[in-house]
Homo-oligomer: A and B are copies of this chain.
């Protein structure tokens, strides 16, 4: 019975920065209710606001008690799915968030560690994505805006839950967002959804990550 399946909490954000759509929520909601690797996906929209995003995250975590948590966020200008390896305890907002807040050089959670590593099997996820022909790479910075903020809070929460896996994936603009921006890269929603499904399946069924180089020189 589906209610007894362990949950995947999959979050996306609402539009920000003048956009009228956010591909992260479009992709997340497309997977809502799907059964992946013996888990049930529960999608939740998170506001692109430093303060409210953490409140909504806590409520969603309490409600769903997930075995896997994956945050998804828009990274305009990136070309591929970016599997974030680390989130840092820093807010440094280049533009105001959707509530008008623009924190500079403040921690996400005061007194907490400088960073958390993703606990998803990123190398196995990357291998599966490449095998399936989905453009993807490991990233070592999730920025310093609301995406990193949420990712850090997810990992902070998961660090105290035995057996819970958590992580964050940045996704490019949709074609319609990039259309008239000269030279802007994009990715089709279908490709994003396909990639997220593959990533979640690997996360759900891979007990232990593989060892495979995906580093950067700088």
Contacts and interface: CB of A to CB of B under 8 A. Distances in A.
Given A191-B188, A218-B143, A213 B179 contact: no
A140 to B, nearest CB: 4
Given A94-B213, A145-B216, 6 more contacts: A73-B218, A77-B218, A92-B213, A105-B123, A135-B184, A147-B217
Contacts of A191: 175, 188
| Residue in A85, A114, A184 with the greatest tally of chain B CB atoms within 10 Å | A114
A64 interface: no
Contacts of A135: 175, 178-179, 181, 184-186
| Residue in A117, A185, A211 with the greatest tally of chain B CB atoms within 10 Å | A185
A133 interface: yes
Contacts of A123: 105
A38 to B, nearest CB: 26
Nearest to A115: B115
Contact of A213 (B93, B133, B178): B93
